[in-house]
Amino acid sequence: SPELRGRSAILSAGAIVPVPVSNDDPVDEVNIELVLDASGTAKGNVSIQLRGRTAQSLSESFNYVVGEDRVNMLRGVVQSWLPWASVDEVKLVSKEGAWEVGLTAQVTIPGFGSIEGKEGKTWIIPGYDPGKSGTLAGMYASKVARESALNIDYPIQYRVKRKTKLPANAKVERLAPAVDQKSPFLSANRSIKVEGDTLVEEFVMNLPTGTVTAESYRAFLDTVQTTDSGFLAGVRVRVKP
């Protein structure tokens, strides 16, 4: 399970060893395909494949949550990845009882292209919250310093791919810089490119469970703040001459 990343195991002989980590281990995966209209509203499709503790919890809940209650629960899952989206339609695509949970949705995100400046000639396309619905610093590093160790009990591990089709005649003026963060605490990557009239991005996060000592906390804080800034950086798009 991806939940085991960062944890230790006790062998039969009594030795404590870290659980081996492979970059090929499956994590939560989200694919987002949006079309941005002339008003700045984005509409499109989302597919989500969940693994680990969240998937197991959802799978168990399907035994007793049905009908509209289940639909609302699945909407909540989508909005945990896209907090500002209105979920127009959502559907479970995995089999009940499966250890992986898959769903698809149609979403609308008003104001996804936010106007920059008074003239409204350029928009900012937002990045992605590294904590899915918030920043890493807000979740784990709200204090400047600590006297005790910080325990990270729940990992954040995902791969989000997002494609945004721009309005007619729109032109990307400034891309957000790529992110390639590797530290003892986490690894994070953001890639970004333009393919024709489409902005293509990928966000990969691996913050495993573990303990950050009080002495290492300042370095951890610097790492998560740098990651936050890189993931949240927007893309400037010119929509009017």
- Residue pLDDT, tens place only, 36-92: 999 999 999 999 999 888 888 898 998 899 899 999 999 999 999 999 999 999 999
> Are 92 and 74 spatial neighbours (Cβ–Cβ below 8 Å)?
yes
Residue with tokens 């009017």: 240
Q: What is the pLDDT of residue 19?
A: 54
DSSP secondary structure of 121-176: -EEEE----TTSSS-HHHHH--SS--SSPEEE-S-EEEEEEEEEEPPTT-EEEEPP
Checking if the pLDDT of 230 tops 70, the result is yes
What is the Cα–Cα distance from 177 to 38, expressed in whole angstroms?
25
Tokens at 193, concatenated: 């490119």
How many Cα atoms within 13 Å fall on the side-chain side of residue 228?
17
Structure tokens belonging to residue 212: 């950050």
DSSP state of 19: P
On the question of pLDDT at 4 being above 60, the answer is no
Three-class SS state of 109: strand
Single pTM value for the model:
0.88
Q: How far is CA 85 from each of CA 43, 79, 108, 110, 114, rounded to the nearest angstrom?
A: 9, 6, 6, 8, 14
Q: Band the pLDDT of 117: cuts 50, 70, 90.
A: confident
Structure letter (DSSP) for residue 6: T
DSSP assigned state of 213: -
Q: Per-residue pLDDT for 23 more than 80?
A: no
Query: What pLDDT score does 15 carry?
Result: 60
At position 94, the amino acid (one-letter code) is S
- Reported as a pLDDT band with limits 50, 70 and 90, residue 10 is low
Compute φ and ψ for 12, nearest 5 degrees: -60, -25
Label residue 31 by pLDDT band (50, 70, 90): very high
- CB count in 10 Å sphere of residue 13: 5
